[in-house]
Every structure is written in structure tokens, then in C-alpha cells.
Structure 1
Amino acid sequence: MSKIQNPILPGFNADPSIIRVDDTYYIANSTFEWFPGVRLHASKDLEHWNLLPSPLSTSTLLDMRGNVSSGGIWAPDLSYADGKFWLVYTDVKVTEGAFKDMTNYLTTATDINGPWSDPIKLNGVGFDASLFHDDDGRKYLAQQTWDHREYNHPFDGITLTEFDTQTMKLRPQTARTIYNGTPVKLPEGPHIYKENGYYYLFIAQGGTVFAHQEVVARSKTLDALSFETAPGEPFITNFDTPDHYLQKQGHGSLVSTPSGEWYYASLVARPWNHHNESSRDPRGWCTLGRETSIQKVYWDESGWPRVEGGHGGKTFVDAPKDAIPTEAPADHSQADDFTTPTLDLNWNTLRVPFTEAMGRTGNSKLTLVGQGSLANTHDLSLVARRWQAFYFDATVRVKFNPFSYQQMAGLTNYYNDSHWSFAFVTWNEINGHVIEVSENNRGNYTSYLKNDAIKIPEGTEYVWLRTKVRKESYTYEYSFDGKNFVEIPVTLDAAILSDDYILQSYGGFFTGAFVGLAAVDYSGYELEAEFSQFKYEELGDHLLADNTYGFKASESRFGDAPENNM
């Protein structure tokens, strides 16, 4: 029997909402402050996935200008009913402190590729909202509920509110708490299903960290506090499986195949440790962010769903018996010559769409207009793509003619406005045009080369920059001919671009590392930079099939990546 290898969506693809329409499966994932909003994939075999256009691709559907890092789109919910797709999404404006100011919206489309309708404002009761379509035609919004009062726990259970399909508005007078969670607390990410005469409520708990888990409760009705939790262990968790390759599983959704098999898609993370660290504390650093895994589900004799192989899940999962082979790229490598007037689907911008204010693409180059620094949350010319492998190279050719140290253009590895590094062409008073490497770590900025910045020879039109990511660390290189690269003597700790590192100082830790192209001109003169010949090349480090590198892949998170072969 064919096996599905987890994670099925590597790199930052968190909070999956999975559905099936006829013979095609769709997954919607959170995108937080990255634009366009909501990441969509499609598959017919649950193993091979193709990226689709994002539904929230206009500022009418999504306006995140000025949003804090890890605000924006939290846990979208994709469903299909009445001949159309329904997408509920949350735009979170505040992440720190007592409040989580947010707005939940609804948009619909008859085609998964759009167009999507103008957004309908639902409410701001809490995040992680999902729409349940009952078989009697009624619809309900289930959501986490936020309580700002310091004398209560902020996660105030799961609220259910009826949605009126005539007015396309919620009926707030119908709102009731249907579930308070267990003593683990932090109930969020609710999804409701109807099966075996019960309503089943899937709930994430414990926070989206190593204590994360998913529990299931059920009820014969949708009445207030009518749901009882499944007895025994959680539905899925890796809290007590610290050596497992997959960690943090939870917060997901359920889907059935045409032949009646069941699968559960959830977020997952793959931590690594520095060689001088314990594998328990810290449990590890998740530089690829929260990814998507899938587990096979069965129903026990008492009618409760259970994960095959136990609540820790499996790295290799049996594929559906009725799977339809799906063609998809072998990995996520990307070569972009920027020949078209629109960006490739893999590219993302921060908070706002890619417009002429930021730059333009086509004619074999990407032109970026210099704006604010990489610490700017309003005006920033950055185009970036996810890290989707622990080992990769990314290269780009840059044409830039700065006349001030306030002007910079180059290649960045970026987590958020306070955590990034940058290899860039700039100007200084000693050597004129130079190459510098800098890092922003918890908002503290460091120039690594300073007066030893690499002088660019007079008459040089192009500079090639390359980053080499090697799981625990990464470096930058440069070339003046595109063939002979020289390593810049700066080795950076990749952990600084991980969810787990950001969590130590900031509550918004929900995305993952990106590699990108940026132009900065905070002098305000809007100097332009040209980028071309971009290449992102994965080096085969994703958990590999047996004997690809002469070793046995296992369920352990140790020893299964070819660290000695790269």
C-alpha cells in the first residue's frame, strides 16, 4: 500500500482546514501578516499537493497595512455547501496584552479559483471561527471566545452562534457557550462534524507549542455546554512523545474519502537542536514554522474517532484506497526569471499587495522601489517565499547603484520585523559601493563587516548574492561574475528565525522563516533595485525514503535527516 510522508505541506502552512468536493481535496492555511491571505492547495490523493491562487488577493478582501507581526489571517475555515465554497477568516489587529482586537469575515465563491465575493463582516467575539452547515439547512459559527478581563482566563470556551442565510448575518441572541475545554485550557480551532447521530466537536488545546493537543467532544444537540469530552488520552498530541519526528500536532480538521476512510489534517512542527543542547530543554527550534501533517483516523467501538498508531501519529501514513494519482512538483525548488507581469504564486509580500508603489515585474527582472527598512510594518519593498526545507541554496542577481548608506538592496532571511538578516549592496564613505551583512535580533541591529565591507570593483554592473541554509546555521556568498562565489565570513544561527526563539520575547510566533528580495531607501528618494535570475534550490533534506542516502528513515526526530551528506 502506498504511504503518505509527513509533513504533506512543508514549511509555514499552519492551521489546516481540509475539505473534499467530489474527488478533490482542498486545504486552506493561515498566512498571518503575509499577503495574499489564505494559502490554498489541492490534491486527489492526499499526498501530492498543488498550490492554488490565494483567495484574499485584493485590499478589498484584506487590508493589513500596519498589522503587527503574526497578526492578520488566523486559522481560516474552508467549507463547501449549497453549490459554493465558504471561507471564514479572521484579521487580528492586536496580539500582545489583554486584548485581541479582531474581525471575522465571510467570503464565498462558486469556483475555488475565484472570484471571491466582497467580505461580509461577522463579528469580533474571538478568533479561529468556522462555519458548520447542518443537514437541516441551518448554519452556525463556532469560534474561540476572547475574554480581556485579567481575573479570568482569556480563552473563554467555544461560542456557537446561528448564521442567518437570508440576511447573511449572525444572530447574536442565539450565541451560547457549547464547550469550555478541559483543565489543559486554551480551547481554540473548533470544527464541528455530524456523524453516527452525534455532533462531534474537534478542539485544539494547550497552545500551539510543544504542549499542543487536539481533543474531541460530542453531543446529541448543539445546546449550551452539552458536549462531553472523549474518555482517555487526547485525540492527538506530541507532548509525551518528545523523540518523535513530528511535534506540536493538533489544531486541524477532519475529512472522509469517497469510499468512507477518514483522515485528519493538523498543524505540525519539526524541531532540531544544536549539537550542544539537550533534546528535552529546549525541545528544539522550528525554523520551518508550523507545517501540515495528515493522519489516518478510525472510529472505536464507542463511536469516538482515534488516530491510527496512537495519539502521537505517524510519519508514514497509509494512503486512501481510492486515491487518484496527482501530479505535483517533486520538491519546492523554484527558478524565476521574472518574465511575466505578475508574481509567481510562491512569492509573498507583507500586509499589502504587490503594486507599483512597491515595484513591478516582467522583462526578465523584478524591480523594487526602495522604501522603509526591514523593521517597517507600513512601507516595505520585500518579496519573499517560505523556507520549505532545512537545507537549500537561494541565489539572485542584483543591479543597484546607491549613493547613501541609507540605501540597501539584496537578499534577506526573514521571520518578522524584529528578527531577520540581510546581505545587501550599499554605499559607505570608505569604499563607495560595498556588500554588507547585517542582522536584527530582537530588534538589536548588528553590522557584521563594518569598515571591512566588501568593496565592489568599479564598473561592476551586477552582484550575485547567495544564501546557503544548513539547518542549524546559514551563510551568505557573493560573486561578481555569477560563477565564482566567495563565502562572506559570517555564520548565523538559524534558531533566531524560529517560532520557538521568537516566543521567548514576543507573543506573536506563528509564521516561519522566509527568504526574500528587498530594496530599502529610508532616505525617501525611492532608489530602485533590479533583481533577476532568482533560484531557490532544495537539497533533499526533507525526511527521505529508505536508502536514498544509505540510511533507514525512522519515526525518530534524530538521525533521519542527512546531516552528514550536505
Structure 2
Amino acid sequence: MALITNPVLPGYHPDPSILRVGDDYYIAVSTFEWFPGVQIHHSRDLVHWRLLTYPLTRTSQLDMVGNIDSGGVWAPCLSHADGLFYLVYTDVKSRKGAFKDTHNYLVTAENIEGPWSDPIYLNSSGFDPSLFHDDDGSSWLLNMIWDFRKGQNSFAGIALQRYDRATHSLTGPIRNIFKGTRLGVTEAPHLYKRNGYYYLITAEGGTGYTHAVTVARSSSLLGPYEVDPDNPVLTSDQSQRDQLQKAGHASLVETQDGEWYMAHLCGRPVVEDKCILGRETAIQKCHWTQEGWLRVMYGPHPSINVEAPKLPPHPMPTENNLDEFSSPELKGYWNSLRRAFSEDWLSLSERTGFLRLKGGESMQSTHHQSLLARRLTDFHVEVETQLEYSPENFQQMAGLIIYYDTTDYAYLHVTHHETDGRCLGIIESRHGIYDELLLNKIPLPEGPTRLMATIHKERMQFYAAPVDEAWRAIGDVIDIRNLSDDAADYIRFTGTFVGLCTQDLGGRCQAADFAYFDYRPLS
């Protein structure tokens, strides 16, 4: 029996929206402040997955410069009707305090790999939009409603409004069709129609360890919706921390043979309650009861190993984890912070065989950082690069960064000191508190410098060496459990990235050249 091994998308891949078109399965996930926007993954058997494309690749589709940490693209929903792919998503501009500025948009494409259209603005009443296409040819937008008023339930229910495909606009009255269950924090609505019932799937309980999937149904699209008496249909067993935690925010798919599966987010704590890989995507097999209610096989808790559908095995090609920057295009796993790839800060052509990054703003900037990174998807890994860089003063830095957001990162960098000349330093930001972990800088000879980090769950060690010399440990082992959603005193939503960056705080855009980046999972 073939098995799905969870998580199917390890590392930061939250809020999955799963869709089948013919024999092809797709999952769209949130990308928050990382660019390009929305990852779409592809499978033929629900077992093997590959990153296929990003639909939001232009600033005209997604302008996130200045967006706050854990802002940007929340909870995309992918759907298909009349030969057209639809993608709705939220661009979150503010989220702390009473108010949330959450703008919802729609883009379309005839081919899943694009080109995708410029966005159609929908509304800003809440987040987690989804689009439901009924069998009568109508389409409907759903999103949760945010209520900022003191003393009110902030998660005020699920809004429903018709979307006119001909005029590309919302039309008609807005209805609040569901106020949620006793679990509260009702969000992430998805509608499905089966055997005369409309099934409303929502996430409740908050996106942490009490996260859950709940179901309600109605014979009418507009409700009222009857709550499943056995809710939640999926939630994690918090007493079993070696199992999948944070299970929630789900969507459904039916296979060609009538089997049902649920894609949902989850987390895997490495120590205490800290999930350094962020919120990941898993898949569970489902069935329907005689009374017409959805059940997770072996639920309500998620399983790591799940019976796969009766489909032919279809392994997917994998992208080489060693990038020698010899292609004119970046590999698909690379992301930048908030801004699009462009020659004014990133180039693969100015020096053949190198990635050139031009010095940008500081690591705490939400505007123009020159940072290129990929998701941490393994608990045990080595990452390595080789850097050619000639800084002229202490405001110029370049190197290897382990990054969660503007408040939490560890950065091994080459810089210049008035006394020591070209040298190595380590900057750490922990909960927004700046520190320098090498008060006595380590002088470096001119020429290429290799930089490496080894990560073993919550412990990370930096290394450095000139070319053809032995590695030397730089600084002490660093505890990186702060690089997680769970380590902050406020809610945040992304995951740990590893990558390359350079800063020129004097504004001269001093360039750094990287010869390669190697990501090596360890057993």
C-alpha cells in the first residue's frame, strides 16, 4: 500500500488550498512578505510534490515594499471554472492592534503556469478569501469579517457575496452566513457542494496548538448552517508533541476515483513548543458518514503516514540543492523580502557564474533589503557559500544569514573595521534586541571566503575559511529556537530561511559576489 508521508510540503508552507483539475493536483500556500507571491505545488498522486510556479511575480500584482513582518500574502485560494484558474489572496498592510488593513484581490490564468493577470480588487472587510463556483454557473466570494470594536468578537463571521465573472466584480448583498462555533477564531472558509448540501469548512481555535478544522452544512447556500455535532473533525493531540501539531486551516479535494483528502497546515516542535520550520502542509484521508458528515480517517488527530489514493505512482523531478548561479534565471526555491527580483539590486549576468547582490538597507528594514533566501525544510542541515567582497567601511556587510524576520536572525558577515581591516563578524537579533557575538573581530585575508552554518534543530554553529583551508568554527553555538512563530510575544506566521544578503548603510550599493549556495540535508 502506497503511503503519503507528512508533511508533504516540509518547512514554511502554511494555509494550503488544494485543487484537482483532471489528473493534476495543485496546492497553493501563503508566502506573507516573501516574494514572489503564492507558491503553487503540483502532484499527480498526492504522494510526490514539486514546486511548480509563483503566480504573483510582478509589482503590479503585489507591491509589498513597507509591509510589516508577517504581512503580505495571507491564505490564497485556488479554484477552476470554465477553463480558467482563479486565485484569490489577501495583501495585509497592517495587523497589530485593533485594526487590520486586509485587501483582497483576484488574479486569473488560462494555464496554471501563467501568465497570470493583473489583480482585480475585491474588498477589505477581512482576510482568508476563497471563491466558490456553484453548479448553476454562479461564483461566490467568502472571507472572514474582522471587527475592530472593543467588546466585540473580532472574528465576526463569514461573509458571502456574489462574484460576477462577466463584469469581474462583486455584486449584490453581503451576507454573514456563519458566526462560528464555541471554539471561536472562525476563519479560512471554504465551500463544497455534495449530495444537495453546501459544506462550509472553517479553521477555528487560533493558528497555534489549539488550531482545529470545523464543518457546518446547509441545504441552501445562504444558510442557516448546521454545525457538525462531532466537531472538530481535525485537531492535534497536544499530549503527543512528537506527532503533527497545530493541525487546522484545511481544504478538500476529491480524486478521480471518488476518494476524499484534506490538505491542512501543521507544525513540528523541535524543543518545548518551538517550530523553527514554521507551519507546514500535510494531507489526511477522509470519508463520509451515512449521515453525510465528513470524517478524517483515524481522526480527529492527524497522522504522519496516510493511505495514498489509488493512483499510479508519479515521482516528480527535484531541483538541485547546489546552485552555482550558472543559469540566467534563479532556481524556483529562491525568495526575496518584499520586493521583486530586478537588476538594480540582484544580477546573474553582471559577472558570469556569480550571484551579484548590491548593498541594500539594514536587516530591520521593511523596504529595500538585498536578501535572497530559501526555506529551511530540514531539522539537520549544512548551508555553505563562497563570497568575494571588498568592504570599505563598517557600514558595508555581506554574508550568510539565518533569518526569521526583522526582529530575529543570526548573520555571519564580512565587513571592514578601522583597525582590523577586512574581518568577520556575527550580528544577532533576538526578539528585536541587537547583539554582536564577536566583540573581537576576526581578521580576514583578501580573496574568496567560504562561509557555512550547520543546524541541528535548535542549535546552530557558524564556520568560515579561505578557499582550500580547513573550516574554523566562528563564535559559539547559537540557540535558534527564537526563529519560530512561537517565540515572539505576538502572533507571527512565517518560518526560518537560510540565505545570502548584503548591506550598504551609506547608500553606495557596494556589491558582493557569491559563487554558489549549497543546501545539504544531514541524516
Report the TM range for the smaller structure's normalisation. over 0.9
In 1, the alpha carbon distance for the partners of 2:312 and 2:254 equals 12
Q: Which has the higher strand share?
A: 2
* Ranges in structure 2 where 5+ consecutive residues have no aligned partner: none
Which amino acid in the other structure matches residue 336 of structure 2? T
In 2, the alpha carbon distance for the partners of 1:267 and 1:357 equals 36
Which amino acid in the other structure matches residue 530 of structure 1? D
In 1, the alpha carbon distance for the partners of 2:135 and 2:225 equals 19
CA positional deviation for 1:218: 0.3
User: What is residue 334 of structure 2 aligned with on the other side?
Assistant: 347
User: What is residue 447 of structure 2 aligned with on the other side?
Assistant: 461
CA positional deviation for 1:237: 0.2
User: What is residue 277 of structure 1 aligned with on the other side?
Assistant: none
Q: In 2, are the aligned partners of 1:333 and 1:538 still within 8 Å (CA)?
A: no
Residue 175 of structure 2 is aligned to residue 176 of structure 1: yes
Secondary structure, in 3 states, of the residue corresponding to 2:57?
coil
User: What is residue 474 of structure 1 aligned with on the other side?
Assistant: 460
In 2, the alpha carbon distance for the partners of 1:231 and 1:489 equals 56
TM-score for both structures, normalised by structure 2 = 0.98
CA positional deviation for 1:333: 6.2
Aligned partner (choices 226, 229, 244) of residue 227 of structure 2: 229
Secondary structure, in 3 states, of the residue corresponding to 2:348?
strand
CA positional deviation for 1:341: 2.4
Q: In 1, are the aligned partners of 2:215 and 2:231 still within 8 Å (CA)?
A: no
Secondary structure, in 3 states, of the residue corresponding to 2:189?
strand
Equivalent runs, 1:196-211 vs 2, <5 Å: 196-211=195-210
Q: In 1, are the aligned partners of 2:29 and 2:75 still within 8 Å (CA)?
A: yes
Secondary structure, in 3 states, of the residue corresponding to 1:500?
helix
User: What is residue 438 of structure 1 aligned with on the other side?
Assistant: 427
Equivalent runs, 1:88-167 vs 2, <5 Å: 88-167=88-167
User: What is residue 187 of structure 2 aligned with on the other side?
Assistant: 188
CA positional deviation for 1:252: 1.4
Secondary structure, in 3 states, of the residue corresponding to 2:482?
helix
Secondary structure, in 3 states, of the residue corresponding to 2:125?
coil
CA positional deviation for 1:342: 2.0
Q: In 2, are the aligned partners of 1:48 and 1:328 still within 8 Å (CA)?
A: no
Q: In 2, are the aligned partners of 1:85 and 1:112 still within 8 Å (CA)?
A: yes
Residues 141-184 of structure 1: CA deviation (Å, up to 9, x unaligned): 0111111111211110111111112211111x421111111111
Q: In terms of mean alpha carbon deviation, does 148-157 or 389-398 score higher?
A: 148-157
Q: In 1, are the aligned partners of 2:12 and 2:377 still within 8 Å (CA)?
A: yes
Equivalent runs, 1:211-360 vs 2, <5 Å: 211-224=210-223, 226-273=224-271, 282=272, 284-329=273-318, 334-360=321-347
In 1, the alpha carbon distance for the partners of 2:30 and 2:18 equals 12
Aligned partner (choices 528, 531, 544) of residue 514 of structure 2: 531
Residues 267-306 of structure 1: CA deviation (Å, up to 9, x unaligned): 0100121xxxxxxxx5x11000000000000001211010
User: What is residue 65 of structure 2 aligned with on the other side?
Assistant: 65
Figure out how many residues of one structure are paired with residues of the other and give that number.
521
Which amino acid in the other structure matches residue 496 of structure 2? A
Shift in alpha-carbon separation, 1:482–1:62, aligned structure 2, 3 A: farther
* Ranges in structure 1 where 5+ consecutive residues have no aligned partner: 274-281, 541-566
In 2, the alpha carbon distance for the partners of 1:245 and 1:494 equals 21
In 2, the alpha carbon distance for the partners of 1:435 and 1:483 equals 16
Residues 67-95 of structure 1: CA deviation (Å, up to 9, x unaligned): 00100000000001110100001100001
CA positional deviation for 1:326: 2.6
Shift in alpha-carbon separation, 1:143–1:29, aligned structure 2, 3 A: same
CA positional deviation for 1:243: 3.4
Q: In terms of mean alpha carbon deviation, does 355-364 or 294-303 score higher?
A: 355-364
Secondary structure, in 3 states, of the residue corresponding to 1:151?
coil
Q: In 1, are the aligned partners of 2:238 and 2:245 still within 8 Å (CA)?
A: no
**Percent sequence identity over matched residues?**
45
In 2, the alpha carbon distance for the partners of 1:517 and 1:243 equals 33
In 1, the alpha carbon distance for the partners of 2:156 and 2:515 equals 50
In 2, the alpha carbon distance for the partners of 1:86 and 1:372 equals 36
User: What is residue 544 of structure 1 aligned with on the other side?
Assistant: none
Residue 387 of structure 2 is aligned to residue 409 of structure 1: no
Q: In 2, are the aligned partners of 1:241 and 1:312 still within 8 Å (CA)?
A: no
Aligned partner (choices 427, 442, 445) of residue 416 of structure 2: 427
Residues 183-213 of structure 1: CA deviation (Å, up to 9, x unaligned): 1111000000000210000000011100000
Give the superposed CA RMSD. 1.2
CA positional deviation for 1:244: 4.7
Which amino acid in the other structure matches residue 524 of structure 1? G
In 1, the alpha carbon distance for the partners of 2:257 and 2:182 equals 37
Which amino acid in the other structure matches residue 125 of structure 2? V
User: What is residue 473 of structure 2 aligned with on the other side?
Assistant: 487
